[in-house]
Chains A and B, each alone.
Chain A
Amino acid sequence: MKTTFALGFLLFTSLAAHAEYEQVNLTVFGMDCAPCAHAIHVSMKGIQGVNTVDVDLNTGLVAIKLTPGNSAAMHQFNEAVEKNGFTHKDATIIVRGQLSGSAQAPFLEVSGTKDRYALTPLASGMDLSGLLGKTVLIDGVLPQSGKGKVSDTLRYKSVTEAK
């Protein structure tokens, strides 16, 4: 009984502080027709933790929503685009992670994945010193990266402490 309680508590605390992508909006170049979009949809849905995928052929926007507790990594989304012969551009993401580094050089670590980003402000900078060491929710832009690569910089629009 004690063990079950302990396990339950551990599970609860790990979920509460879980770092993960909540939403990924990728701009994809090169999709001209319905099978292109269908291929992207199938590939994205194959990533564990992906809940919904919407593809807009006219804007090239692929909007992915993920389930809580997922451990999907950014390179998986990029690979899903590349394996279908298309090119990924900037991605707008909402991600939860641990803020580390210093106020001058903050980093976001998405635990459960190998994703670690240097944070730079998209517009005016924020004082992040009070959030260091905490789990934060970031809305930001990942600049386009080369094939097989993920940008190591996340340009944030907002950083808030995750609840």
Chain B
Amino acid sequence: MKSLLVLACAIALTGTAFAADHGPVFSYATPVNSEREFSFDSGIFGRSGTRGTQFSTGSGFGYGITPHFTVNTLLPATFGSGNLPESRIVPGNEWSVGASWRFQHSVTSVGKRIESTASLGLVVPGPQQDSGVLGSLHRAPGIAGSLVTGLASRSQYVWVGGGYTRFAEASHDRRPDTLSWSAVYGYRPSNLRRGYDKWDYRGFAELTGEHTGAVRSSGLILPDSSSTTVWLGPSVLAIYKNIAIEGGVQGPLFRDVSESVYGRERIRFAINLSYLKYSSHTSSH
């Protein structure tokens, strides 16, 4: 009964909060959809290391129920193999469904907002198998939550956020719990603060980090299977009215990963396309 309740909450509320329309490509950010707005995201994310390159296509869909509450789903697919640690910053094989709630929203002046968004979601194994150590595990659903706060303005953006994902056990196997965090700074130069009928550009410096717990296989903890990494890199977001293109690359600042278990990850990159379909619906008198 308890698990059913948790499951229901997870479905009602999301998990992953990356690469969505107005925000940075790797990091957590606060924007949610407008009421009745559909958003479609499709991107390619890559993680390259000593044991190969792993690509994932993150296809996402969101719908704004209210101006501050969005339901969303992410259906990634992967190809290539890198034998890399679990990541919730870069999409993997898990599909997710959930919701984001912008619970704090303070509009202080023209173009400026200070806001906070919480997300909760259900993560389920996708049809594809992982590679490496994670590929040998029986997979079970998990729950992912995140919290992010920050400022958006015409000139600068700052967001700080974190997320946690916990998977259930399946046949005495369990994927590692993952703690993710990010801090991002964005800037739009004054000569690019133009009309909305022109391309809107901004640049971000994205700092992300993840700690993954130990892998449990056949009831036993796999030695040296936990990992901690910190990544830094630039990204650029270009938007024309309701179409957004963003791309970014990150290099490692810190890696505490056993090379006997995983490949040594060297670079992360992403390109994401978004299409936003706004509603023209208005109430009558």
Contacts and interface: CB of A to CB of B under 8 A. Distances in A.
Interface of A: 27-39, 41-43, 45-47, 55-60, 71, 73, 75-76, 79-80, 82-87, 113-114
Contacts of A41: 196
Nearest to B190: A58
20 contacts: A30-B113, A31-B111, A32-B112, A32-B113, A33-B196, A33-B239, A35-B244, A36-B196, A38-B241, A38-B278, A39-B34, A43-B279, A57-B194, A57-B196, A60-B111, A76-B282, A82-B67, A85-B32, A85-B105, A87-B107
Interface in B223-265: 239-242, 244
Given A32-B153, A35-B241, A41-B196, A60 B110 contact: yes
A46 B196 contact: no
A57 B278 contact: no
Interface of B: 21-22, 32, 34-37, 67-68, 102, 105, 107-113, 152-154, 157, 193-196, 198-200, 202, 239-242, 244, 276, 278-283, 285
Nearest to B237: A33
Contacts of A80: 282
A70 B242 CA distance: 28
B153 to A, nearest CB: 6
Given A83-B36, A85-B68, A33 B22 contact: yes
Contacts of A37: 195-196
Given A35-B242, A46-B279, A46-B282, 8 more contacts: A46-B281, A47-B282, A56-B195, A76-B282, A79-B282, A80-B282, A83-B34, A113-B285
Contacts of B111: 29-32, 57-58, 60
B196 A29 contact: no
Nearest to B239: A34
Nearest to B102: A85
Contacts of B196: 33-34, 36-38, 41, 55, 57
A86 B202 CA distance: 21
Among A42, A75, A80: residue with most chain B CB under 10 A = A42
Given A30-B112, A85-B105, A57 B35 contact: no
Contacts of B102: 85
Contacts of A34: 196, 198-200, 239-241
B112 A29 contact: yes
Contacts of B200: 33-35
Contacts of B37: 39
Q: Which one of A32, A39, A47, A58 has the greatest number of beta carbons of chain B within 10 Å?
A: A32
B76 to A, nearest CB: 24
B194 to A, nearest CB: 8
Nearest to A33: B200
A75 B283 CA distance: 9
B21 A43 contact: no
Contacts of A36: 196
Contacts of B154: 32, 57-58
A30 B193 contact: no
A74 to B, nearest CB: 10
Given A43-B279, A57-B111, A58-B193, A73 B285 contact: yes
Contacts of B32: 85
Contacts of B105: 85
Nearest to B280: A46
Contact of B109 (A29, A46, A83, A113): A29
A46 B281 CA distance: 6
